[in-house]
Amino acid sequence: MLLTISYDGTAYHGWQVQPNGITVQAVLQDSLQKLLGVRPAVTGCSRTDAGVHAREFCCHFDCDEAFPEKAFLKGLDAFLPGDIAVKECREVSPDFHARYDAKGKQYAYYILNSSVRDPFNARYVWRIERKLDTQRINRFCENIVGTHDFYAFSSSGRSTDDTVRTVSDCSAEQRGNTVVIKITANGFLYNMVRIIVGTAVAVSDGQSEPNITEKAFSLRERSVLGQTAPPQGLFLEKVFY
């Protein structure tokens, strides 16, 4: 069965089960166990970091029983905490895999570009007081699009040796006092989006040039890029199958 959920990642140490922290995966398994009477293995489409949110996160698990969709959704929702919601469930083939069958994902990063704090939005944005230059950021984003070796745009905790990814869209948009950077790709490396965003801010500040990507792709050195943006502004927006 394929589940689509959304969650506020503030209270969680990411998606994947960990021995020393509460995670979205563990809480979802707890809730499914209460509903089904057995604890299913749940496989997610991605491994979001601690503090990262998801508007659309997909995961699958094996279920021997058939449930009416509305009854299943209502039953599972009753066991979930308020910061996790189940949006949809549907049957899929036994060989379906939420991660490996995904054709791509879209992330969005939200920056509150304001000198005034917003206490109602603080958990969901990175606040930067100085004015950001979205034109410079978009020139940088244009250089991100395409098939490249994103080794430099990942942290040492990456779980794969294959660091080539294809980014189909990367752009920044000003929405009032919020700058939204959206990135769509066939896959992402550990901290890839947050490093792209941190580097975009460095480009905006004039600390790096928009073509810093050329150096990063050729040298494969994390040190030539900007900081890793904090997690709370990052949302997994959509998963494509």
Of 138, 143, 145, give the one whose Cα is nearest residue 204: 138
Distance between CA atoms of residues 213 and 15, nearest Å = 30
Judge whether 201 and 132 are in contact, CB under 8 Å: yes
Which residues, including other chains, have CB under 8 Å from residue 108's CB and lie 6 or more apart? 180, 181, 182, 183, 234, 235, 237
Active site members: 49
Q: What are 40's two structure tokens?
A: 């299913």
Q: What are 162's two structure tokens?
A: 């294959």
Reported for 96-103, long-range contacts at CB under 8 A and 24+ positions apart, including other chains, are 96/2, 96/60, 97/43, 97/60, 98/2, 98/43, 98/44, 98/45, 98/58, 98/59, 98/60, 99/43, 99/44, 99/45, 99/46, 101/241, 102/45, 102/58, 102/239, 102/240, 102/241, 103/186, 103/240, 103/241
